[in-house]
């Protein structure tokens, strides 16, 4: 039996026990003191890879904790697991599939076998098919029902068939090609459909129905609505192939829906939805930024893949980020992790990472079905700086929870404006500095005294003004948000999530919890519309159904 089917229990490893002791010994660990004691701390705990610079010196670690975390990874056979991931072993054991998103960024000539078949020729065939489509659209050769060239592309998809493409096309806006605008339609909420189509003209709009399964309710309902809309705007049934293409691993269902065979771009079972932006699911990205830039994105991810495969754990960016997450979650009682990009174009990065991380590592049993004996994936949240500083950062500074944060910032802005970028960069750094240094009670008192306040007032205010500090963070610096750097950044987080799943012994590539909601959704819809006899399964749901039925007006 492969070791991933009978995972080791991390909590039973010698390194885990040693980390427990280490944690106790670090009760009084102070980041301020650690920096004062070691002038090399920044150099010691920072590294460069894939055009990304990671400063992880503001973490609650010393040489021994880092060494023990690396030992834990070794004891959990992480090296072997990484090799299996890249080689296509069926690590998604509950669905008996590999998770080969890394194959999507490999160069021509590489070989990756799935069930004895080299998948690389298919991968590059689809890239060529994408290139042809992008060229036809960019050159105005793809025409709508009235022979006008396509000007707008709407990606209909949800989850991984939406978040990754949206993030990348939004983040790489400075690379946008003129002539075609990309839009996203994800939710089943009719308001989204109405607001979007109100801006569009069917004659010049192409819809990409993007669904690995071609069975996702929201996507299929929106695709049907789009078809009705195109027909209502004057197209005939025989024109529909000019307005609909699909990306799916379920060709049959796409054909049954009415997509022309030649308009279906394949993807594969061995690519997970939340890891699929590198496949034809990335078509809206390629349409937005051009195929050359899309390939740069792939090459940046490939660079990170090579780093992940070959760098020693103590110098391996995804491994270090993954281990730090385990350290805080399982030893410091931390339950969430903030993603704080200081870049307008990366403002929705946390949405993609939420699915990537929480759908992957929101698990409670290990690969063999036994319950985990430690905490698993954290809540991922966050948002763009500086905006967050005036909203939720307060809780990071003075709340009762320990919330590690990743600050992400480019050195160069595509839109320089006076000294705004220097201020943005400075704010990013000063936030992580404030989290780390805080303000001691004595410092708060001294400040208040310097303002000439009476001692009684000083004592009244000081507890409110003292800030504990010692709150950990990573800072990731990119030279600029380019296709290549962004590719590396996203791949970094994919691998971080994988590292953690190996430590916890869980399957990062299935998502059975999501399925229950889908099943119950159908059942509740049946009750709501009177198609399902009898009352709903529980009194609350039944009460809410009755409330709706008594008042519903459309």
Nearer to ligand F6P, 155 or 316 (CB): 155
Residue 160 engages ligand F6P in binding (rule: CB under 6 A): yes
Q: Which two tokens stand for residue 202?
A: 């069917």
Least distance (Å) from ligand F6P to the CB of residue 70?
Answer: 32
The region of 158-166, 330-338, 456-464, 478-486 touching ligand F6P under the rule CB under 6 A is: 158-166
Answer for which of 274, 363, 439, 471 binds ligand F6P (CB under 6 A) is: 274
Distance CA 70, CA 78 (A): 10
Q: Considering the complex, what minimum distance in angstroms separates the CB of residue 370 from ligand F6P?
A: 24
In this chain, which stretch among 26-34, 63-71, 107-115, 153-161 interacts with ligand F6P, using CB under 6 A? 153-161
439 is a catalytic site residue? no
Shortest Cβ 205–ligand F6P spacing (Å): 21
| Residue 475 binds ligand F6P (CB under 6 A) | no
Q: Interacting stretch for ligand F6P, rule CB under 6 A, among 118-126, 209-217, 372-380, 497-505? A: 209-217
Q: Which of 390, 456, 464, 519 is catalytic?
A: 390
CB-wise, 188 or 461, nearer to ligand F6P?
188
Q: Which run of H or E residues covers position 337?
A: strand 336-341
Number of residues that bind ligand F6P (CB under 6 A): 14
Q: Please, which of residues 510-529 interact with ligand F6P by CB under 6 A?
A: 511, 514
Catalytic residue, candidates 170, 203, 296, 359:
359
- What pairing do the DSSP bridges indicate for beta strands 405-410 and 336-341? parallel
Partners of 205 in beta bridges: 152
Binder among 49, 205, 219, 500 for ligand F6P (CB under 6 A): 219
Nearer residue to ligand F6P within complex by CB, 212 or 495: 212
DSSP structural state of residue 358: I
Look at residues 189, 384, 177 and name the one whose alpha carbon lies nearest to residue 284: 177
Burial (0-12, 13-18, 19+ Cβ within 10 Å), 119? buried
Half-sphere exposure (Cβ direction) of 183: Cα atoms closer than 13 Å: 18
Q: Distance between CA 436 and CA 229 in Å, rounded?
A: 54
Q: Is 507 in the site for ligand F6P (CB under 6 A)?
A: no
Q: Round to whole Å and give the CA distance between 94 and 142.
A: 42
Give 312 or 517: the residue with its C-beta nearer to ligand F6P.
517
- Has 241 been annotated as catalytic? no
- Between helix 512-528 and helix 539-551 the angle, nearest 10°, is 50
Is the CB of residue 257 less than 8 Å from the CB of residue 196?
Answer: no
Active site residue 221: no
**345-404 residues near ligand F6P, rule: CB under 6 A:** 359
Q: Where do the DSSP E strands lie in 23-159?
A: 46-49, 52-55, 113-114, 117-118, 152-156
CB of 297 to ligand F6P, least distance (A): 19
Which residue stretch of 127-135, 152-160, 339-347, 477-485 sits at the interface with ligand F6P (rule: CB under 6 A)? 152-160
Q: Are 17 and 23 in contact (CB under 8 A)?
A: no
| Of the residues 22, 84, 161, 475, which one makes contact with ligand F6P according to CB under 6 A | 161
Q: Which of 211, 376, 484, 500 binds ligand F6P (CB under 6 A)?
A: 211
Residue 72 in contact with residue 16, Cβ under 8 Å?
yes
Nearer Cβ to ligand F6P, position 262 or 519? Answer: 519
- Containing 406, the helix (H) or strand (E) segment is strand 405-410
CB of 192 to ligand F6P, least distance (A): 16
Q: Which runs of E-coded beta strand occur in 128-282? A: 152-156, 181-185, 205-210, 244-248, 264-266
List, by residue number, the catalytic residues. 359, 390, 518
Residue ranges binding ligand F6P (CB under 6 A): 158-161, 211-213, 216, 219, 273-274, 359, 511, 514
């Amino acid at each position: 039996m492969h070791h991933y089917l009978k995972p080791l229990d991390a909590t039973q490893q010698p390194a885990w026990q040693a980390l427990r002791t280490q944690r106790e010994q670090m009760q009084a660990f102070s980041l301020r003191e650690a920096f004062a004691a070691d002038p090399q701390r920044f150099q010691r705990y920072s590294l460069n890879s894939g055009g990304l610079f990671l400063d992880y010196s503001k973490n609650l670690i010393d040489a021994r904790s880092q060494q023990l975390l690396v030992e834990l990874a070794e004891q959990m056979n992480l090296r072997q697991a990484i090799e299996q991931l890249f080689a296509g072993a069926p690590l998604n054991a509950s669905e008996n599939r590999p998770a080969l998103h890394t194959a999507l960024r490999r160069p021509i000539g590489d070989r990756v076998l799935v069930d004895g078949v080299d998948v690389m020729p298919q991968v590059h065939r689809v890239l060529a098919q994408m290139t042809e489509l992008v060229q036809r659209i960019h050159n105005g050769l793809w025409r709508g029902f009235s022979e006008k060239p396509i000007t707008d592309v709407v990606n209909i998809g949800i989850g991984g068939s939406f978040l990754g493409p949206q993030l990348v096309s939004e983040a790489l806006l400075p690379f946008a090609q003129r002539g075609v605008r990309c839009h996203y339609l994800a939710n089943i909420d009719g308001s989204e459909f109405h607001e979007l189509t109100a801006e569009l003209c069917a004659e010049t709009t192409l819809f990409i129905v993007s669904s690995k399964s071609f069975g996702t309710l929201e996507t299929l309902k929106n695709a049907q609505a789009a078809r009705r809309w195109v027909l209502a705007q004057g197209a005939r049934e025989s024109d529909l192939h000019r307005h609909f293409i699909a990306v799916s691993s379920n060709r049959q269902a796409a054909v049954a829906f009415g997509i022309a065979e030649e308009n279906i771009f394949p993807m594969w079972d061995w690519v997970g939805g939340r890891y699929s932006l590198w496949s034809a699911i990335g078509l809206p990205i390629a349409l937005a930024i051009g195929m050359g830039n899309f390939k740069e994105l792939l090459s940046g991810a490939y660079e990170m893949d090579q780093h992940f495969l070959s760098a020693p754990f103590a110098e391996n960016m995804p491994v270090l980020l993954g281990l730090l997450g385990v350290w805080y979650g399982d030893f410091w009682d931390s339950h969430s992790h903030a993603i704080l990009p200081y870049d307008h174009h990366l403002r929705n990065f946390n949405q993609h990472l939420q699915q990537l991380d929480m759908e992957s590592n929101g698990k409670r049993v290990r690969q063999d079905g036994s319950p985990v004996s430690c905490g698993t994936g954290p809540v991922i949240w966050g948002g763009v700086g500086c905006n967050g500083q005036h909203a939720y950062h307060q809780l990071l500074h003075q709340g009762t929870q320990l919330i590690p944060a990743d600050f992400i910032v480019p050195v160069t802005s595509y839109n320089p404006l006076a000294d705004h970028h220097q201020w943005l960069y400075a704010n990013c750094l000063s936030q992580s500095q404030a989290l780390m240094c805080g303000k001691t009670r004595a410092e708060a008192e001294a400040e208040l005294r310097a303002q000439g306040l009476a001692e009684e007032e000083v004592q009244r205010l000081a507890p409110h003004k003292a800030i504990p500090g010692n709150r950990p963070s990573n800072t990731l610096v990119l030279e600029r948000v380019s296709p290549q750097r962004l590719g590396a950044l996203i791949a970094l987080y994919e691998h971080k999530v994988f590292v953690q799943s190996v430590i916890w012994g869980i399957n990062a590539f299935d998502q059975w919890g999501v399925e229950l909601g889908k099943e119950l959704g159908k059942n509740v819809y049946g009750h709501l519309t009177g198609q399902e006899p009898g009352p709903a399964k529980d009194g609350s749901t039944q009460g809410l159904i009755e409330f709706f039925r008594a008042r519903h007006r459309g």
